[in-house]
Amino acid sequence: MAIPDYQSIMLPLLKFASDKREHSIQDAIEDLASFFRVSETELQELLPSGQQKIFDNRVGWARTYLKKAGLLDSPKRGVFVITEKGLGVLKSNPTRIDVAFLRQYPEFVEFQTVKKESKETEEVEVSVQQQTPEESLEYGYQKLRQALAQDLLGKIKTCSAVFFEKLVVELLVKMGYGGSRRDAGQAIGKSGDEGIDGIIKEDRLGLDVIYIQAKKWEGVVGRPEIMKFVGALQGQHARKGIFITTSYFTDDAMQYAKKVDSKIILIDGDELSKLMIDHDIGVAQMASYDIKRIDSDYFSEE
């Protein structure tokens, strides 16, 4: 079955703690994984950041919400135990415990109230309530990034060939190639028809060079174009090349690039826009958020 959302985990987690014993979060994860029949593959699924497993994250947030409502407590570091209030809830035999259920407790309402500033904010919260806060933040970030990449690529396609040359140079320098902006600009050479062709230093010392072809194309780039590029590399006695396009490559073109002796990197429009975002080319930071957690080691008196 699919990984349960964190609200669906709340009641089974409270029942798991009903023996009044102290439990670790890892014990809960193992028990609940069995209860929900979460597969081994699903247990290994990670959040977009790759920093935490989705199921572990959801169990952790289910525990946090139950604690904030006073149904669970943490008598010492790393463990949790059910409270008398929690036992009372189980005696009432609820069919489900979720955010709406927990809002009957003032301490939980106080915890959850982030002072909603508008009706729109509240509507967004309701629509993502099955996600943990980290998931909402991370998936929201991914959507914003994807939308930005699409807008960025659309903007690139409206630029002149000369501006596209400047853009590629800036990106390669930010990625560590060319030594300096001036060196890279000299190495690139003349603009071509809706693209640029030239060479750039692989490192600051110029121990090796990379041949570059960049095309502002709308149509798909096929194998014939890559074959021409390989021929150009051979003519320059070059061993490395980068082919950049604002469109995309056919499977045949990508397979061919892998088979040739020269090392060729293909960068399509989607990858180009993502690299620009990663290296702050053509984008500006609008906001930044630092996500912090308790440093348990700091409070350890051992």
In the numeric block, which tokens belong to residue 211?
A: 């041949």
Better pLDDT: 186 or 13: 13
294 inside domain: no
Same domain, 202 and 98: no
Q: Mean per-residue pLDDT for 274-291?
A: 90
Of 163, 207, 213, give the one whose Cα is nearest residue 188. Answer: 213
Q: According to the model, what pLDDT value does residue 298 have?
A: 81
Residues 188 and 97 in one domain: no
Average pLDDT over residues 40-55: 91
Answer with the one of 68, 95, 118 that is the final residue of a domain: 118
As a whole number, mean pLDDT of residues 1-5 equals 88
Q: Tell me which of 118, 135, 170 is where a domain ends.
A: 118
Q: At what angle do helices 54-68 and 6-16 cross, to 10 degrees?
A: 70
Residues 104 and 171 in one domain: no
Residue 274 has pLDDT above 90, yes or no: yes
Residues 109 and 61 occupy one common structural domain: yes
Domain membership of residue 74 (yes or no) is yes
Q: Which residues pair with 82 in a beta bridge?
A: 72
Examine residue 146 and state whether it is found in any structural domain, yes or no. no
User: Which of 60, 91, 118 is at the close of a domain?
Assistant: 118
* Domain shared by 15 and 89, yes or no: yes
State residue 227 phi and psi, 5-degree precision: -65, -40
Same structural domain, 162 and 88: no
Tens of pLDDT, residues 215-229? 888 889 999 999 999
Cβ neighbours, 10 Å, residue 228: 12
For 166, 169, 227, the CA distances from 188, given in Å and listed in that order, are 9, 8, 21
Q: Is residue 78 part of a domain?
A: yes
Q: Which domain holds residue 175?
A: 157-278
Instruction: Reply yes or no on whether the pLDDT at 191 is more than 50.
Output: no
11 and 110 assigned to the same domain = yes
Tell me what pLDDT residue 162 has. Answer: 79
Q: Is residue 129 part of a domain?
A: no
Q: What is the CATH number of the domain that holds 98?
A: 1.10.10
If pLDDT is split at 50, 70 and 90, which confidence band does 248 have?
A: very high
Give per-residue pLDDT as tens, 201-211.
887 777 788 88
Do 71 and 22 share a domain, yes or no?
Answer: yes
Overall number of domains in the chain: 2
What integer pLDDT is reported at residue 232 of this predicted model?
Answer: 84
Which residues, other chains included, contact 12 with Cβ-Cβ below 8 Å and sequence gap of 6+? Answer: 32, 35, 36
> Are 161 and 114 contained in the same domain?
no
pLDDT of residue 294: 82
Are residue 190 and residue 272 in the same domain, yes or no? yes
CATH number at residue 174: 3.40.1340.10
Cβ atoms of residues 229 and 256 within 8 Å: no
> What phi and psi, each to the nearest 5 degrees, are found at residue 72?
-125, 160
- With respect to residue 190, please indicate whether it lies within any of the assigned structural domains: yes
- In a domain? residue 136: no
For the chain, give the percent of residues with pLDDT over 90: 49
Residues pairing with 215 in the sheet: 195, 245
Per-position b or e across 143-163, b if 16+ CB within 10 A of its CB: eeeeebbeebbeebeeeeeee
Position 299, amino acid: F
pLDDT band of 188, cuts 50, 70, 90: low
Is 150 domain-assigned? Answer: no
User: Are residues 181 and 93 both part of a single domain?
Assistant: no
Say whether 192 sits in a helix, a strand or coil. strand
* pLDDT exceeds 70 at position 116: no
Name the β-bridge partners of 266.
Answer: 243
Q: What is the pLDDT of residue 142?
A: 87
**Given this model, what pLDDT does residue 296 score?**
76
pLDDT score at 115 = 43
Better-scored residue on pLDDT, 197 or 149: 149
Q: Is the pLDDT of residue 264 over 80?
A: yes
Give the Cα separation of 26 and 23 in Å (integer): 8
With 80 as the cut, is the pLDDT of residue 105 above it?
A: yes
Residue 44, exposed/middle/buried by CB under 10 A (0-12, 13-18, 19+)? exposed
Burial of 66 (0-12, 13-18, 19+ CB in 10 A): buried
124-165 pLDDT, tens digit per residue, is 444 455 678 888 888 888 888 988 998 899 899 888 877 887
- The rounded distance, in Å, linking the Cα atoms of 159 and 195 is 11
Euclidean distance between CA atoms 74 and 78, whole angstroms: 8
